[in-house]
Amino acid sequence: MKIKKAVFPVGGLGTRFLPATKASPKEMLPVVDKPLIQYAVKEAIDAGCDEIIFITGRGKRAIMDHFDVSVELEVQLEAAGKFDQLEEIRDIMPEYVTAMGIRQSRPLGLGHAVYCARKVIGDEPFAVLLADDMIYGGRNPVLSQMTDLFDKVQSSIVAVEEVDPSETHKYGIVRITDVDGRTGKIQEIVEKPLPEHAPSNLGVVGRYILTPEIFGILENLPKGLGGEIQLTDAIAQLMKTQDVYSYAYRGKRYDCGSKLGYLAATVEYGVNHKDLGEDFKVYLKEFVESMDE
């Protein structure tokens, strides 16, 4: 089976970026010239997904609008001869890809957000991407690396990365046995344990491939940490009946759920930007030097 459907939980309130996120979704914060969510959606499309499912909440209309066709804008750009921009606008959502929004009526956690997609996913494996975790994978984006692995194992896969041992309380943490190289078999998964209780410092990052059996588990799952339905807890249940793999991806992650990570992403994507990069590098060098004066 191939992964064709990707779920994007975008219902969160984005309180860490207030007041910027008071009236617009945090997923629409731009990194250089594209909103955060566009990078993640492109990653899914590049990995072969052609159905994009947003799990939305209040005040998230801008996300749906961003991925919708804007006939007015296209007509204006065409009339003005701005063909590069026109192409860029059209590239946001290739014609063969469909997008839909499902409203998560109450913010009951990541597990609940994923559960909201059950009717659209049906009986097939699917991807989950958390747009806050922006991951630069170069020519081989992380979800593509994971779908390659899925082709071999046909089982659930969770992306992982070594995190600072003092920060285990910010991540799902796994204990694995090595399979080979970057791949492991998960033996234990815990949501946000304190460092003294963490089974390792291997943290879950926001990329998952899940088999549809996760829905039956989520349906009956009691609330976990923070009174929320935790995806991590559902994966722990899934492991009782199926293998679940960890995958230490190739790439660099920017935690855009934090201001520092977001600024780092902005600077590094700016430096690597095709039109802006060279000028920005010059500016940045001069600016850093001026700070030492």
Instruction: Please report, as ranges, the residues that interact with ligand G1P according to CB under 6 A.
Output: 110, 130, 133, 171-172, 191, 203-206, 231-232, 257
Residue closer to ligand G1P (CB basis): 52 or 129: 129
Q: CB-side exposure of 114: number of CA atoms within 13 Å?
A: 33
Report the residue number whose CB is nearest to ligand G1P.
172
Residue closer to ligand G1P (CB basis): 14 or 203: 203
Residues 6+ apart with CB under 8 A from 8: 37, 40, 41, 44, 52, 53, 54, 55, 128, 129, 130, 131
Q: How far is the CB of 81 from ligand G1P (least distance, A)?
A: 43
H or E segment and range at residue 209:
strand 202-210
Q: How far is the CB of 206 from ligand G1P (least distance, A)?
A: 4
Q: How far is the CB of 114 from ligand G1P (least distance, A)?
A: 11
CA-based Rg of the chain, rounded to a whole angstrom? 20
Q: How far is the CB of 132 from ligand G1P (least distance, A)?
A: 6
Distance CA 192, CA 173 (A): 7
Residue closer to ligand G1P (CB basis): 92 or 143: 143
Q: How far is the CB of 257 from ligand G1P (least distance, A)?
A: 6
Residue closer to ligand G1P (CB basis): 27 or 191: 191
Residue closer to ligand G1P (CB basis): 125 or 257: 257
Residue 14, phi-psi category: left (phi > 0), alpha (psi -120 to 50), beta (remainder): left
Instruction: For residue 225, give the DSSP letter.
Output: G
Contact, 250 vs 140, CB < 8 A? yes
